Amino acid sequence: MSDKASPPATGKDLARKPRGFPDKREGLIHAQARLVETVTGVYRQWGFEALDTGAFEYADALGKFLPDDDRPNAGVFAIQDDDEQWMSLRYDLTAPLARFVAEQGQGLGRPFRRYAAGPVWRNEKPGPGRFREFWQCDADTVGASGFHADAEMIAMGAEALRAIGMRDGEFVVRVNTRRLLNGVLDSVGAEKAETRLAILRALDKLDRLGASGVADLLGAGRKDDSGDFTKGAGLGADEVKRVLAFAEAGAATRAVTLANLAKAAGFTDEGKAGLAELEAIALALEALGAPEDDVKIDPSVVRGLEYYTGPVFEAELLREVTGEDGKTYRIGSIGGGGRYDDLVARFTGETVPATGFSIGISRLAAALAILGEGAKLDGPVVVLNLDKDNPALALGLATELRRAGLRAEAYMGASSMKAQMKYADRRASPAVVIVGGDEVAKGTVTIKDLEMGAMKAKAISSNEEYRDARPGQIEVPRAEMVSAVRAIVEAQR
């Protein structure tokens, strides 16, 4: 491989974009904005306050990616400040919060309850559905050690998903705790780090491989359909049975799940402590009114347990979609969180209890788009410009509509009426206003409801019938233009 730098791009080659940084048009921008507004509205209702820590942090303050001798490690996007300190774009919203809390000290007051929404950046290999820039929306409580604080995060996260339109059976927030899993790992003699990691990876595949496939991965190993072999954790038959009993302890209610876990994992000190955590969370969830179907205790949740210090939760969309290949897919994880009591200690040496919940706004917006539930485009009313020599009339009508609080524009240019109508369709306009010579003479305007016109046109079989019906089109006195347009716009919302 040559170590020579690529020549600078010229001409058409200049029009290129770095991979993993998506361009967003109005539909996606509005979908994300609506999600942020809805989710943060729930957070504010629960008493959390907004905080924006900015896009850049010093690289050594981020914690997850520390600088090497020459530059920060792969994982973040970094530049050098004027004083030769490395600054990095934030890779999440939690590490900057820990820095903020440590910097503010005792003057901040605790517990400190904050929410934040914004883009984060990760210098990782992009792929389908995996971007280097994406939006998150977090809420965190710093300085509250009780498990009621974890339960509040869980219940609030479920309520936020309800607020954006998720219905019964379309999502679930799954809850587990690191200590309970540690108890199981200790009970089967998994002392080596690689053995514990192999068990965690096996449990993470329970939904996809089922109990038999996970049993193979817990034991000697598993050969998949392609013939590839994955080495297992090396547990004996009794240990495999014990781990599977733990992983499959989930039941229809939190109470039954806890009873099953007491039998499967509550026989070591660490397991008993973890069980007590989940019992406290379940009690608080009941007080918070969190429905059983929305929030489940699920011992198969293992992601993030190396980062979190206690309870961990994962939000998942359960609705399925059919891909172009005809196969059925589940959207999967769209958020989660947990307790992280060690993060602030990096700066102060003081263990500060903290818990948080994060919703992946970009992933959620993409999922809703796939499900056909993205934000509806809300285009402007277009006033057609039929007087090519003097557009003043169209400009004045558009101004009148805007002053009445309606989104409107006058068509710019001298195109035909047909071309102007196509433009309005492309802009997702709710209606167009037409004022030609006949309307001027009569003191009227013609208003075409584009949505109603499209619906009626589908039922019309001939051009003659179309001309007679004039679907979705009305003529009103000039003074009634604003009220007539407003009625059309509001009817389409």
**Cα dihedral angle (95, 99, 100, 103), rounded to 10 degrees?**
170
Give the domain 381-491 fold. Rossmann fold (3.40.50)
Question: pTM here?
Answer: 0.82
Q: How confident is the model at residue 374 (pLDDT cuts 50, 70, 90)?
A: low
What value does the mean pLDDT of the chain take? 87
State the average pLDDT over residues 281-290: 97
**Higher-scoring residue by pLDDT: 180, 296:** 296
Distance CA 481, CA 444 (A): 8
Name the least confident of 342-356, 366-380, 413-427. Answer: 366-380
State the average pLDDT over residues 251-267: 88
For residue 374, what are its two tokens? 């993205």
Tens of pLDDT, residue by residue over 73-104, are 678 888 888 888 889 999 999 999 999 999 99
Residues in Cβ contact with 215 at an 8 Å cutoff, skipping those fewer than 6 apart: 240, 244
Tens of pLDDT, residue by residue over 11-51, are 667 888 888 898 988 888 888 999 999 999 999 999 999 99
In the chain, count H helices and then E strands: 18, 18
Given this model, what pLDDT does residue 259 score? Answer: 93
State the average pLDDT over residues 420-426: 93
Q: How confident is the model at residue 70 (pLDDT cuts 50, 70, 90)?
A: low
| 244-260 burial: b if 16+ Cβ within 10 Å, else e | bbbbebbbeebeebbeb
When mean pLDDT is compared over 110-124, 205-219, 461-475, the highest value belongs to 110-124
| DSSP conformation class of 105 | G
Q: How confident is the model at residue 5 (pLDDT cuts 50, 70, 90)?
A: low
Cα angle 191, 196, 197 (rounded to 5 degrees) comes to 145
Given this model, what pLDDT does residue 357 score? Answer: 97
Residue 409: strand pairing partners: 382
Residue 299: strand pairing partners: none
In the chain, ranges of CATH 3.30.930.10 domains: 20-145+341-377
- Nearest by Cα to 137 from 151, 120, 121: 120
How large a percentage of the chain has pLDDT more than 90? 48
Q: Report whether pLDDT(471) > 80.
A: no
Given this model, what pLDDT does residue 1 score? Answer: 41
Q: How confident is the model at residue 62 (pLDDT cuts 50, 70, 90)?
A: confident
Q: Report whether pLDDT(486) > 80.
A: yes
Q: Report whether pLDDT(493) > 90.
A: no
In the chain, ranges of CATH 3.40.50.800 domains: 381-491
Place of tokens 């939000």: 315
20-145+341-377: what CATH class? alpha beta
Given this model, what pLDDT does residue 210 score? Answer: 87
Tens of pLDDT, residue by residue over 111-162, are 999 999 999 999 888 877 678 999 999 999 999 998 999 999 999 999 999 9
Residues in Cβ contact with 222 at an 8 Å cutoff, skipping those fewer than 6 apart: 209, 213, 216, 229, 230, 232
Given this model, what pLDDT does residue 325 score? Answer: 66
Given this model, what pLDDT does residue 467 score? Answer: 47
